[in-house]
Amino acid sequence: MNTSNAVAHLKDGTSIYNLYFSIILLNTFTDNITNFVGSNSYHEYFLIIFWKKKNNAYNLQ
């Protein structure tokens, strides 16, 4: 989370970084569902993804 905030301040490559960051979270999210490991963990990943989307809207303005 702190790393993504630091990178979000950079002018170039921010959208690319956020895209890959979301893909990595999505992969871990789906892996947890398929393995049925840690029922609480996929709710946390879901919240992080939506938090990122909300923050990106503010950063792009």
Gap between the Cα atoms of 23 and 36, Å rounded: 20
pLDDT digits over 4-48, tens only?
A: 554 555 555 556 666 667 766 766 666 655 555 555 555 565 666
Secondary structure in 3-state letters for 20-38: HHHHHHHHHHHHHHHHCCC
pLDDT for position 60: 54
The reported pTM is: 0.23
Q: Are 49 and 25 in contact (CB under 8 A)?
A: yes
5 vs 52: CA distance, rounded Å: 10
CA nearest neighbour of 14 among 45, 22, 34: 22
